[in-house]
């Protein structure tokens, strides 16, 4: 099986720079995959993406050096199973708040007897049956990341981090800001402090820490706090900002 370089890198504490993708377009995904980022997140939580769309984007990335990560819509065992079967190896589960939810997520990515992932011998993940060792080796190359994005999850962070099978934790700034009483304002001092403290606590618990923000100043602070895998922007807002900048630069053409 192909080695999961992203999983190895974060386990060894080597920083990984990523980009977030909301656009359901394999050609855009392929272009982003060629830019030199270490990882890309394909989002199913806040987009209309589904398993067939994700598979098409994974196929578009198959010749790229980048490591794809996929975020399911929620902690849904059946959806996670389908994403794994179409070839996802790095899974980011959103909105995990309890030890029990963390344990369910860990079970969802492992075959019995350790977990509850359903078995298919002819999936894309198994090279359509050509990889006979997949079922015994798959979990070694699957990376499971959980999102910590509420006050309750922060309160239980160390307990969640201690659940066997968790490969890393990711602070979600938007939902965390809302949970702390500051919706739409991740720059609020209370939220900023909770983010940097959460990153430091994740590292102190012995896990790699992840984060997403297009805010360069905030990114600098979370990296100083110990963030290991950092998504530095999102494709859709990047496109919007670029298009607006070009419009502003050319408005004088209209007189």
Catalytic positions, written as ranges: 46
Among 144, 54, 66, which Cα is nearest to 107's? 144
For residue 67, list its beta bridge partners.
Answer: 39
Read off the tokens for 195: 């983010």
Residue 51: C-alpha distances to residues 45, 58, 248 (Å): 12, 10, 38
CB 231 within 8 A of CB 67: no
Task: Report the number of secondary-structure helices (H) and strands (E) in the chain.
Answer: 12, 8
Check residue 21 and report its DSSP letter: E
HSE on the CB side for 244, CA within 13 Å? 6
Residue 75: C-alpha distances to residues 102, 129, 147 (Å): 9, 27, 11
**Contacts of residue 152, Cβ cutoff 8 Å, sequence gap at least 6:** 97, 98, 179
């Amino acid at each position: 099986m192909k080695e999961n370089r992203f999983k190895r890198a974060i386990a060894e504490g080597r920083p990984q720079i990523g980009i977030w993708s909301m656009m359901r377009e394999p050609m855009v995904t392929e272009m982003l995959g060629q830019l030199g980022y270490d990882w890309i997140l394909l989002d199913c939580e806040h987009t209309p993406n589904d398993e067939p769309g994700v598979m098409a984007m994974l196929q578009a990335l198959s010749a790229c050096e980048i490591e794809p990560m996929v975020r399911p819509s929620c902690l849904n065992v059946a959806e996670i199973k389908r994403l794994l079967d179409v070839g996802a190896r790095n899974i980011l589960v959103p909105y995990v708040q309890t030890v029990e939810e963390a344990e369910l997520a860990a079970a969802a990515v492992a075959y019995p007897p350790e977990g509850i992932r359903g078995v298919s011998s002819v999936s894309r993940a198994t090279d359509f049956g050509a990889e006979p060792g997949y079922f015994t080796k798959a979990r070694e190359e699957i990376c499971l990341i959980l999102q910590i994005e509420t006050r309750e999850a922060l309160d239980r962070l160390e307990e969640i981090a201690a659940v066997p099978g968790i490969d890393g934790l990711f602070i979600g700034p938007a939902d965390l800001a809302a949970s702390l009483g500051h919706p739409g304002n991740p720059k609020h001092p209370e939220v900023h402090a909770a983010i940097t403290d959460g990153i430091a606590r994740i590292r102190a618990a012995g896990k790699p820490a992840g984060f997403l923000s297009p805010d360069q100043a905030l990114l600098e602070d979370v990296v100083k706090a110990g963030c290991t895998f950092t998504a530095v922007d999102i494709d859709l807002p990047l496109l919007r900002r670029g298009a607006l900048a070009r419009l502003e630069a050319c408005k004088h053409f209209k007189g």
